[in-house]
Amino acid sequence: MPVLAPGGLIAGGLAALFIALGAVTASWPLFALGVLQFATLLVLFVLFIPQSAMLRRDRLEFAWWIPSTTSHGSLKDGQLATLHIMLRNRANASFARARLHIICASQIRIGDGAERPIDVALPARCEIDLQVAVTPQAAGYWAFHGVRLIVEDRFGCFRLQIYFPSSFLIKVFPSLRFGRAMVPLPPTAGASHGRVGPRLVRQRGLGSELRELRDHTPGDPFKRIAWKATARQRRLLVREFESEIVSTNWLLLDISPTMRRRWGDRAQTKLSHGQSLCASLTQQALALGDRVGLITFDSRIYSTLPPADGRPQLYQIIDKLMETHNVVDEDLTDLTDQELYTAVATYLAYQNGIDARVQRRLTQNRSGLMRGSGGSWLDTDLIHRTVASSLAQHGGGMPRWWNRIVAGSPSSAQLRLFCRVRGIELPYRQSDGLPAKGSGLAQAIRRAARSRLSHQLLIVSDLQEVVEPRAVIDSLRLALRHHHRVVVFSPQVRGPIQPHLTNGKGAAHRRLLRHIEELRLQRARGDTRLQIERIGVPVIDVGPFDSIDQIFARLRRRRGRLPAAS
């Protein structure tokens, strides 16, 4: 039903004031003026009801889409796209005052990001096409859930809210950092794979092509001595060959809460920079014929993709990178069962028109009920039936690995899968200061370093809140003993932590606390970085706009100043 708009509230308040003043002062003109204003509001309400009824009876049609030509068939984080919104008014009434609110994922910026409604006019029996600029802020699977249309009468006294549920998911790919430099750390030990590749690895006395003859050094086996050349030169010479092998690269991506914090004026996250860096390294390594695998971790290993080569591996790694912004596992999200059921029930009420709330008088001696986070009772059986039916209809439209959800019960896993499929965002866990991140990083290093062949381990982490780095250092030493090459790329963004509240009471105190917290994180990160570099592992700071060439040049300079691996 229509409700009073701000203009109607002002008019009603003035009418009540006039009536009260007229009754107190016994002034019939004031009293009559107040009654006249109330009568005018009543007439406007009666006239607005038929118009609002036309809109509620499917006389207003809605559709929206993002054309593939907008972004050449794909969306990338930080890239501007165009959202088309079509509104068709089939009623005979015109609405000159209407405002449109777009309900979408938090990582999608509408327009300039000011969250202002879109003013539109709906002429009678007419169709309008709106074009709205949208910018994805991070790679992932993001949802447009629907639009809320607020229609007012021509005098601005009454308004009607209409919600159009029309959900669709979009895939936003990570941006790539282009460059011509090669992956900088080819392996120096280990055997070749089943087929040859473009990498030449120097091996003493082994391989397919002779590289050089060099002087004998202590430790060289005598069977590698070139006796004819030794006789001619009258000094011991050793053959050295080159082997053509396929290099194996492991990408280890940190997805912890410190990587998800928004920094700076542009609200950037280090996880977005890490996604872009991993995608760029993957594309370059696969173009060279190498094999690439991916491990994502937080307090534990979140996902693992074994090394492989070819174009399909690039698509699989990008899918894994995109999914890091859509985590729904129970131990990695900050959500209770009550809050989970409430979120799903609210979504079903708006999107499917199914109200799972139960009146208090019907809760006696009835099973399958739960008190929601708002205090109302929810019919959990109805929620599970609706969710199961929706997932069955979705069927094979989801990737196979979406079903791998860590949850305490099958019912919770089903609800969390529904949240992933429908794009319902679950808040990621907050940092608790416990030594969980260091444990997850150590597990990821040990899993990547299992092989006795020489691999390349590229760790992408900000190294913050690694409270107990001893396990990490031990895992890195184990990887170095297995002749793996290890590099740590540390995404860094400029600017302070983005405040949630910039004004209001205590804002200066909150800014001071954030500054102190930032200094503490930077100091702890510096200590961890120093311990890692002491054992010969380079740590390279990576900015959001650094190219691959710049990053590798920085790595080469850094390696020259590091101590030998220990």
CA distances 500 to 262, 393, 497, 510, Å, are: 10, 39, 9, 10
Whole-number Å distance between alpha carbons of 109 and 113: 5
pLDDT at 504: 54
CA–CA gap between residue 171 and residue 502 (Å, rounded)? 32
What is the pLDDT at residue 269?
Answer: 86
Pairing, β 369-371 against β 456-460 = unpaired
Residues in a beta bridge with 60: 89
Q: Which of 513, 486, 479 is nearest to 499 (CA)?
A: 513
Greatest C-alpha distance within the chain: 131
Q: Report the predicted TM-score, pTM, of the whole model to 2 decimal places.
A: 0.81
Pull the structure tokens for residue 349: 């009420």
* CA proximity to 96, closest of 119, 117, 129, 122: 122
In this structure, what token pair is assigned to residue 470? 């001893």
Q: In the prediction, which pLDDT does 203 show?
A: 44
Alpha-carbon span 309 to 290, nearest angstrom: 6
pLDDT for residue 360: 65
Among candidates 398, 416, 422, which has minimal Cα distance to 327? Answer: 416
Per-residue pLDDT at 496 = 53
Report the Cα 233 to chain-centroid distance in Å.
64
Of 447, 453, 449, nearest in space to 189 by CA: 453
8 A C-beta contact, residue 61 and residue 87? yes
Question: What does the pLDDT read at residue 474?
Answer: 94
Among residues 73, 66, 67, the alpha carbon closest in space to that of 102 is found at: 66
Predicted local confidence at residue 364, as pLDDT: 61
Q: How far is CA 228 from CA 210, 235, 283, 553, in A?
A: 15, 11, 46, 42
Alpha-carbon gap, residue 66 to 10, rounded angstroms? 41
Angle 140-146-151 from CA coordinates, rounded to 5° = 145
Helix 470-481 and helix 436-448: axis angle, to 10°?
10
What was the pLDDT predicted at 95? 83
Chunk the chain into consecutive blocks of 10 residues (it has 566) and report each block's average pLDDT, rounded to whole numbers. 88 91 88 91 89 75 80 74 90 85 91 82 88 90 92 88 89 78 50 46 46 76 81 83 70 92 67 91 87 93 92 92 91 90 93 84 68 82 92 75 86 93 90 73 93 86 86 93 91 63 60 73 84 91 84 80 59
**Residue bearing tokens 């794009």:** 423
CA distance 255 to 461: 8
CA angle, residues 93, 118, 74, in degrees to nearest 5? 120
Question: End-to-end alpha-carbon separation of the chain, Å?
Answer: 74
Amino acid letter at 99?
A: R
